[in-house]
Amino acid sequence: MRKNKKTNIMASLLMVLFAVLFVIISGRFIYIQATGEVSDVSLIDWANEKRETSLVLSAERGKIFDNNGMTLAYNRPAYRLFAIIDPEYSKNL
């Protein structure tokens, strides 16, 4: 069978069209990979915003009770105070 000339032209045209589309899309991917930006947005900063979050959890320790319901231990602030009475310690001040 003989091939139609129109078929060869259309096949060539489609191959050229797909080749051009492939080059355009590949070029865009390479550009994004090289610069790390899309529409003036840094991909590293964007990814960090999406993946990292910071939360402050205000949690209290539970109270410990005995058999009668009396509190044995609970969460309260504790402070420490130190007094240095040795005069040699603060001699250079």
Domain chopping of the chain, boundaries: 5-73
Q: Quick one: pLDDT at residue 91?
A: 66
Q: Is 1's pLDDT higher than 60?
A: no
**Residues in contact with 71: Cβ distance below 8 Å, sequence separation at least 6, in sequence order:** 63, 64, 65
What CA–CA distances, in Å, run from 38 to 18, 44, 48?
24, 11, 15
Phi, psi of 55 (to 5 degrees): -125, 145
Q: Of the candidates 38, 20, 16, which has an alpha carbon nearest to the alpha carbon of residue 29?
A: 38
Contact at 8 Å (CB) between 38 and 28? no
Cα separation, 54 vs 68, in Å, equals 41
The tens digit of pLDDT for each residue in 17-42 reads: 999 999 999 999 998 888 888 888 88
Percent of the chain with pLDDT over 70: 94
Q: Quick one: pLDDT at residue 66?
A: 92
Q: Quick one: pLDDT at residue 19?
A: 97
Phi, psi of 47 (to 5 degrees): -65, -40
**Residues in contact with 12: Cβ distance below 8 Å, sequence separation at least 6, in sequence order:** none
